[in-house]
A and B are shown apart, each in its own frame.
Chain A
Amino acid sequence: MTEITAAELAPRVDLAVTATEGVREMYSARPVIARALEHVADVEGSLAAVDDTDGARAITVCIGVSTQDDSVAVASAVAAAVRGTDEAAQPATVRVRVARLVAPAS
Chain B
Amino acid sequence: MSDDIGGSGYTLEDLSAYLDRGRVPRIAAVERNAECQAVLASMERMGRLSREIVEEQAAEPLAESWYDSIMREVTREFRAGRDIPLVRGADGVEIVVTEGALYELIRSVGDSVDGVLVGRVRLQQPESDAPLDVRVSVSVRFGRAMAAAVDEMRDGIRAAIERHGDLRVGRVDVTVGDVHVDEEEDE
A interface residues, Cβ below 8 angstroms from B? 25, 27-28, 32, 35-36, 38-39, 44, 47, 62, 64, 67, 70-72, 75-76, 79, 91-103, 106
Contact = CB atoms under 8 A, between A and B. Distances in A.
Contacts of A91: 92
Contacts of A75: 86, 95
Interface of B: 7-9, 28-29, 32-35, 37-38, 41, 80, 83, 86-87, 89, 92-98, 100-102, 104-105, 108, 111-112, 160, 163-165
- Most A CB atoms within 10 A — which of B8, B97, B108, B160? B97
Contacts of B9: 36, 39
A38 B8 CA distance: 11
B102 A101 contact: yes
A64 B111 CA distance: 19
B33 A97 contact: no
Given A35-B29, A96-B96, A101 B101 contact: yes
A49 to B, nearest CB: 12
